[in-house]
């Protein structure tokens, strides 16, 4: 999955801490999507962003979760006051500016909550 | 809300066997994708199908899209251990007024090919 870069690949947090997940889209892509995956399940849509704008956050929990995609720098998915249920793999995808092209996925961040 | 149901959930076969996995949607697909995901990695796109009745081949993989665009199958001939992975189907929906869309995924079929 060269192109979409996510870091860190693994993140361990204790309950109550904050988790910050970063995603750098493929060059030339201005659409970023975040998905969450639980073991042996498919990916569940969380949020869709374009540069400096949240387009669709219908899949994101109303509390503790936020996302941004600033004009400069990577997209950030932020989880405040993490709980055990936040443990999952979080994937970022990006797509080109024009057209509904298939999304290119990063290799994810595995978040573990102790 | 669109629901994608994949079957079987798990499949374990011997090297050299053939297999078929299925994806059914509660509504008509906009644009169907099949992905393969290996442990510790993100999904990798295998194929996109748009037209009802369409058949696409990718080496030993054959993808069929139902005429009504609500179901699809993936057939693998002479499976190899390298085919092991999670096979996901997905639909891209494009929100009104935007140029790109989010994907709705099924829960996948976990395929294990034993040597």
Output the pLDDT for position B92.
82
Share of chain B above pLDDT 70, in %: 94
Q: What is the tens place of the pLDDT at every residue in B29-58? A: 888 999 999 988 999 999 999 899 999 999
When pLDDT is cut at 50, 70 and 90, the band that residue A1 belongs to is: very low
Is A79 at the interface with chain B, CB within 8 A?
no
Average pLDDT over chain A, rounded to an integer: 91
Per-position pLDDT tens, chain B of length 115: 888 999 999 999 999 999 999 999 999 988 899 999 998 899 999 999 989 999 999 999 999 999 999 999 999 999 999 999 999 999 987 666 555 578 899 999 999 999 9
Minimal-distance CA residue of chain A relative to B101:
A100
Is A28 at the interface with chain B, CB within 8 A?
no
Report the alpha-carbon distance of residue B47 to residue B34 in Å, rounded: 6
Tokens 């750098």 correspond to A24
Output the pLDDT for position A2.
56
Query: Looking at the partner chain, which of A56, A59, A100 has a beta carbon nearest the beta carbon of B31?
Result: A100
Q: Chain A partners of B42 at a C-beta cutoff of 8 Å?
A: 1, 4, 91, 93, 105-108
**B95:A55 CB<8 A:** yes
Name the minimum distance, in Å, from the CA of B23 to any CA of chain A.
Answer: 13
Q: What is the tens place of the pLDDT at every residue in A49-98? A: 988 899 889 899 999 999 999 988 999 999 999 999 999 999 999 988 65
Minimal-distance CA residue of chain B relative to A110:
B40
Name the minimum distance, in Å, from the CA of B13 to any CA of chain A.
Answer: 18
Q: What is the tens place of the pLDDT at every residue in A8-52? A: 999 999 999 999 999 999 988 888 999 999 887 889 999 999 888
Tokens 């102790």 correspond to A114
What is residue B83's DSSP assignment? G
**B42:A97 CB<8 A:** no
Output the pLDDT for position B29.
87
Query: Looking at the partner chain, which of A59, A98, A107 has a beta carbon nearest the beta carbon of B42?
Result: A107
Report the alpha-carbon distance of residue B72 to residue B24 in Å, rounded: 7
Residues A76, A101 contacting (CB under 8 angstroms): no
Residues B33, B89 contacting (CB under 8 angstroms): yes
Range A58-65 contact pairs with CB under 8 angstroms and sequence separation of 24 or more = A59/B102, A60/A34
Nearest to B35 by CA among B104, B114, B112, B113: B104
Task: Assign A3 to helix, strand or coil.
Answer: coil
Name the minimum distance, in Å, from the CA of A42 to any CA of chain B.
Answer: 4
Q: What is the tens place of the pLDDT at every residue in A3-14? A: 999 999 999 999
Output the pLDDT for position B100.
58
Nearest to B81 by CA among B113, B39, B37: B113
**B45:A102 CB<8 A:** yes
**B107:A40 CB<8 A:** yes
Residues A93, A104 contacting (CB under 8 angstroms): yes
Query: Looking at the partner chain, which of B43, B100, B105 has a beta carbon nearest the beta carbon of A101?
Result: B100
Output the pLDDT for position B1.
80
Output the pLDDT for position B71.
95
């Amino acid at each position: 999955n060269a192109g979409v870069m996510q870091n860190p690949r693994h993140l361990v947090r204790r309950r109550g801490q904050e988790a910050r997940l970063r995603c750098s889209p493929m060059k030339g892509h201005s659409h970023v999507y975040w998905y969450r995956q639980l073991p042996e399940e498919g990916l569940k849509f969380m949020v869709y962003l374009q540069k400096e704008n949240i387009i669709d956050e219908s899949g994101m929990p109303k509390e503790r979760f936020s996302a941004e995609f600033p004009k400069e720098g990577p997209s950030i998915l932020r989880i405040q006051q993490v709980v055990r249920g936040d443990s999952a793999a979080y994937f970022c995808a990006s797509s080109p500016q024009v057209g509904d092209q298939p999304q290119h996925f990063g290799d994810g961040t595995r978040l573990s909550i102790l | 809300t669109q629901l994608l149901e994949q079957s079987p959930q798990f499949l374990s076969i011997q090297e050299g066997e053939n297999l078929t996995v299925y994806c059914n949607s509660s509504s008509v697909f906009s644009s169907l994708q099949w992905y393969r995901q290996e442990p510790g990695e993100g999904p990798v796109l295998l194929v996109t199908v748009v037209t009802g009745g369409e058949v696409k081949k990718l080496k030993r993989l054959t993808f069929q899209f139902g005429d009504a665009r609500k179901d699809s199958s993936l057939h693998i001939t002479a499976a190899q251990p390298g085919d092991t992975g999670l096979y996901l189907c997905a639909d891209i929906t494009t929100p009104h007024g935007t140029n790109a869309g989010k994907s709705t995924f099924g829960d996948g079929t976990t395929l294990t090919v034993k040597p």
